[in-house]
Structure 1
Amino acid sequence: MYDVAPRSEALPPLPGVGYKPQHWTDILNNPAPVAWFEVHAENYMGDGGRPIAQLRHLAERFPLSIHGVGASIGGAERLDPEHVARLKHLVSWANPASFSEHLAWSTHDSHFMNDLLPLPYTDATLQRVCDHVEEVQEAIGRQMLLENPSSYLAFEESTWEEPAFLDEIARRTGCGLLLDVNNVFVSATNLGFSPQSYIDAFPLHRVGEIHLAGHEEDHDDHGQPLLIDAHGAEVAEPVWALLDYTLEQCGPRPLLVEWDNDVPDWSVLADEAHRAERALTSLPTQARA
């Protein structure tokens, strides 16, 4: 196991949002209540230009969370060494307070799929994911967080429940976990389980970040509800309620509002961050301990 520890300059247990260049001026003028920003690693792997300059300036003013979407941690093949090298370079100069990736796969042979695809929870998959997590942590020289996916199907060959699978990965590798509450709600609706029971089973002591996002509502071929993790709307009311339930169990955590598609004006995103702030500050005293 790689001997890792979270950075001493950890993300604060306050609201953050995903950084979008169209909000640059608003952020410089009045970022409140946002205390930190997330960026997607793959958008900043170049050598220069305005995106890199803006990220360097952002990193001087705010704690950063770098969120990878392309490593294919759950993929059957070895990790792309060029991608890992670019990731190492980005993390070295941006020096984020947090780095995370997904429990998913997105590559096959030399092809990259523009999606985060599910994997069966078996002993063989567990070992492969652990190997990939350890490789990334060795490369970047720090702990990473692994995010629970949004699911639209379940594999018959799975022998692990998802919370236990993630807990075992963290135990073996020393990684932390990123709990996406919207993903929990989406998966619970699509697969027919209780989101509160999932939270009860989740190893909350390992959680370094909590994420929120909007989803789209649809129906499958049998007329049953089907939720899509679309990141293009306000956080739904049941997801806010599930967040309250989660925070009552684990206490305050860095809390990110994601909005990646149909990005609104800064004022709309700031309103969502204000609501996240209220969720954190309205916790009972015992939950804050």
Structure 2
Amino acid sequence: MKSLPARAGLGLKSMHFRDILDKGPDVGFFEVHAENYMVPGGPLHHYLGRIRESYPLSLHGVGLSIGADAPLDEAHLDALAVLIDRYELHAFSEHLAWSSHGDMFLNDLLPLPYTAATLARVCDHIDQVQSHLGCRMLIENPATYVEFSTSTLSEADFISEMVRRTGCGLLLDVSNAYVSCVNHHRDPQAYIRALPLDQVGQIHLAGFATQADANGDPLLIDSHGAPVAQGVWALYTELLGLIGPCATLIERDNDIPPFDVMLAEANLSEALLVQAAQAQGVGVELAAGRISA
């Protein structure tokens, strides 16, 4: 599997297909949710095939339930393998979460207790996925609103050990890091620095909604329905200073605006990637905004 270019990408939405094909925008890559394409044919595959001819593509799963206390769904793994082979993908990622119990599937990404037993189960599942798909997967840090009192490891320590044991990569969702740290009254910069930054294969940026908890404190909700917040941009800039330019996705799954609005936000990320490349002496083609090692 090829690596994604160290550029800004966008989540691919069906209402933007024609804009992309007609205008050929300068976007580093597109990303799709795997479960939307687990059918043999139809218009989604028609357009995805055409767009894949011109752009790198990453696949982001939401249904493997890596953290569930149950075996992984072999049929789901088979469907992922078909997509990876069909589109010669540049990256595959999933969430550090669970979403199934027995035969019931929950339409949410739920948090895990960070214990030795959970770590062993998650690592076994990652090993199974990577062996089945024949590629390295990226695991995304979660956005959380509650924590387990039974946890014996910090989230950063859990993720670091997971990466070390399995050889998987980290999809560092900067927005999730910001949301979780605000919700749990932690320092987002310290959290970021505690992660295995040398194993980051992709970055996600997204918007959130702001509510209040029972004590009146801010409660951030990972809504993917708003522009990226200034605090997240600041944390992202700091991260790029630590690791250099890295493939960065702008996520938007709710209240999706016109394509040009999404492209403008991707261009903000692209400008920061170029600055990071210049700071680290990486070659930059300024005319096209492309980054090359």
TM-score tier by shorter-chain length is over 0.9
Q: How far has the Cα of 1:202 moved from its partner?
A: 1.2
- Report Cα offsets for 1:38-60 as digits up to 9, x if no partner: 00000000011111111222222
Contact 1:210 1:254 in 2 (8 A): yes
Q: Which residue of 1 aligns with 2:117?
A: 124
Identify which range, 275-284 or 251-260, moves more after superposition: 275-284
Q: SS of 2:39's equivalent? A: coil
Q: Which residue of 2 aligns with 1:113?
A: 106
Contact 1:33 1:277 in 2 (8 A): no
Contact 2:21 2:51 in 1 (8 A): no
Contact 2:98 2:112 in 1 (8 A): yes
- Report Cα offsets for 1:113-135 as digits up to 9, x if no partner: 00000001100000100111111
Q: Which residue of 2 aligns with 1:262?
A: 255
Q: How far has the Cα of 1:288 moved from its partner?
A: 5.1
Matching residue within 133, 138, 144 for 1:140: 133
Q: How far has the Cα of 1:139 moved from its partner?
A: 1.2
Q: How far has the Cα of 1:287 moved from its partner?
A: 3.7
Distance 2:151 2:215 in 1: 24
Structure-2 change in CA distance of 1:85 and 1:243 (3 Å): same
Please tell me whether residue 37 in structure 1 is matched to residue 44 in structure 2: no
Contact 2:245 2:277 in 1 (8 A): no
Please tell me whether residue 280 in structure 1 is matched to residue 273 in structure 2: yes
Q: Which residue of 1 aligns with 2:6?
A: 13
Identify which range, 109-118 or 164-173, moves more after superposition: 164-173
Q: SS of 2:59's equivalent? A: strand
Q: Which residue of 2 aligns with 1:100?
A: 93
Please tell me whether residue 173 in structure 1 is matched to residue 179 in structure 2: no
Matching residue within 207, 211, 225 for 2:204: 211
Q: Which residue of 2 aligns with 1:47?
A: 40
Distance 1:284 1:269 in 2: 23
Q: SS of 1:143's equivalent? A: coil
Q: Which residue of 1 aligns with 2:53?
A: 60
Structure-2 change in CA distance of 1:288 and 1:217 (3 Å): farther
Please tell me whether residue 28 in structure 1 is matched to residue 55 in structure 2: no
Contact 1:105 1:117 in 2 (8 A): yes
Please tell me whether residue 79 in structure 1 is matched to residue 72 in structure 2: yes
Distance 1:226 1:10 in 2: 35
Q: How far has the Cα of 1:230 moved from its partner?
A: 0.3
Instruction: Please give the TM-score of this superposition, normalised by the length of structure 2.
Output: 0.94
Distance 1:85 1:283 in 2: 39
Q: How far has the Cα of 1:156 moved from its partner?
A: 1.2
Contact 2:67 2:96 in 1 (8 A): yes
Distance 2:12 2:144 in 1: 25
Task: Give me the CA root mean square deviation.
Answer: 1.2
Q: Which residue of 1 aligns with 2:188?
A: 195
> Gapped runs of 5+ residues in structure 2?
283-293
Matching residue within 210, 223, 233 for 1:230: 223
> Gapped runs of 5+ residues in structure 1?
1-6
Percent same amino acid among aligned pairs? Answer: 49
Distance 1:93 1:284 in 2: 32
- Counterpart of 2:5, as a letter, is P
- Counterpart of 2:138, as a letter, is L
Distance 2:204 2:235 in 1: 12
- Report Cα offsets for 1:78-98 as digits up to 9, x if no partner: 111111111111112122100
Distance 2:133 2:166 in 1: 14
User: 4+ runs of 1 displaced by more than 6 Å?
Assistant: none
Q: Which residue of 1 aligns with 2:177?
A: 184
Instruction: Please give the TM-score of this superposition, normalised by the length of structure 1.
Output: 0.95
- Counterpart of 1:79, as a letter, is L
